[in-house]
């Protein structure tokens, strides 16, 4: 079946709402408007205001309500319009949802799923375009995932709803219109995936940077460099075994991350490789990240600030001495 990333998320949500009366969707404009990215279009009329809850412009308030509902036995899916706005709810996510199991000695769990759009590329300006996934991947008690394919967009939500603890799902804004054939979409929330096997260099990435990495690998192949592309998929906990296994096959690595380089997830990946398989590397790792500026609005500046196919190709050629 061929579907778009948006349709995949919508199908997963619809299935969950039909199958489990404890599941409800809450967020800004998710009701009559149908969602900022049209994911919940038609849901309000089908399921009603009790299960499709339009929330006021208060991320702290409605994310906190979702945490409370999860503690009370429901299975809320909370949609935050963009990762930038989620910063208003950091207290509820980091100081509440993430710590209840630990602080209660295992007596309480918080099975809340928090979905949010992330990333740039649509000229939405600096307050709507950043990639802050690593901020959440830093926090024990959270599981953090970034579906980069249509199949993962379809399969990660039901897997997240089955988790007893909070799951944060990052959906890149540049992926909603991507269409792919989807067969088996069942997936776990643990393992990375090799999207393209290769022997000369590993390109490690996630989310909205995966299509760029695959395009770069195709360009490199025409020049005789066989690049493996590893999609992290799960940002916490990282599948360190898969990362190390890829690098042990290729002996070179470039990490692509739309976050800023300083304090980045890319830096965590490289640090882990230094600890676990430093002597398997035949060249120093490289990181391709966003420029250390607020993401610009102007299209040519936004493009210049983000990781690009050409930038990935150049980094790989440098690592390979080509």
Query: For the CA atoms of 89, 93, 96, 100, what is the dihedral angle to 10 degrees?
Result: 170
CA distance 313 to 310: 5
Q: Examine the residue annotation and report whether 128 is marked as an active-site residue of this protein.
A: yes
Query: For the CA atoms of 286, 287, 288, 292, what is the dihedral angle to 10 degrees?
Result: -130
CA distance 205 to 258: 9
| Selected catalytic residue, list 7, 28, 79, 128 | 128
Would you say 2 and 182 are in contact if contact means Cβ atoms under 8 Å apart?
Answer: yes
Question: Terminal CA-to-CA distance of the chain, rounded, Å?
Answer: 40
Sign of CA dihedral 247, 141, 57, 20: positive
Q: Examine the residue annotation and report whether 138 is marked as an active-site residue of this protein.
A: no
| Selected catalytic residue, list 7, 28, 59, 268 | 59
Compute φ and ψ for 258, nearest 5 degrees.
Answer: -75, -10
Report, as residue numbers or ranges, the catalytic residues: 59, 128
């Amino acid at each position: 079946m061929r579907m778009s990333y948006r349709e995949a998320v919508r199908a997963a949500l619809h299935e969950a709402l039909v199958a489990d009366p404890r599941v409800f969707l809450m967020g800004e404009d998710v009701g009559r408007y149908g969602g900022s990215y049209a994911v919940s279009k038609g849901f309000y009329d089908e399921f009603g205001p009790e299960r499709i809850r339009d929330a006021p412009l208060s991320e702290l308030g409605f994310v906190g309500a979702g945490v409370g509902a999860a503690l009370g036995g429901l299975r809320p899916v909370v949609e935050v319009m963009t990762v930038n706005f989620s910063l208003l709810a950091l207290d509820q996510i980091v100081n509440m949802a993430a710590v209840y199991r630990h602080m209660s000695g295992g007596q309480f769990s918080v099975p809340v799923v928090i979905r949010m759009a992330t990333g740039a590329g649509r000229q939405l300006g600096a307050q709507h375009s950043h990639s802050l996934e690593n901020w959440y991947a830093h926090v024990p008690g959270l599981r953090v995932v970034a579906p980069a394919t249509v199949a993962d967009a379809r399969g990660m939500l039901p897997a997240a709803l089955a988790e007893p603890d909070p799951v944060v799902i990052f959906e890149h804004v540049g992926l909603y219109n991507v269409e792919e054939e989807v067969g088996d979409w069942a997936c776990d929330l643990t393992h990375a995936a090799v999207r393209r096997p290769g022997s000369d260099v590993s390109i490690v990435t996630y989310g909205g940077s995966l299509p760029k990495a695959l395009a770069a690998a195709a360009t490199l192949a025409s020049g005789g460099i066989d690049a493996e592309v590893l999609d992290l998929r799960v940002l916490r906990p990282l599948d360190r075994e898969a990362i190390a296994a890829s690098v042990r096959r290729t002996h070179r690595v470039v990490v692509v991350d739309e976050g800023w380089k300083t304090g980045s997830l890319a830096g965590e990946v490289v640090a882990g490789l230094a600890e676990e398989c430093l002597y398997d590397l035949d060249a120093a790792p490289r990181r391709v990240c966003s420029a250390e500026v607020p993401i610009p609005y102007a299209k040519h500046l936004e493009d210049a600030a983000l990781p690009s196919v050409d930038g990935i190709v150049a980094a790989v050629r440098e690592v390979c001495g080509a």
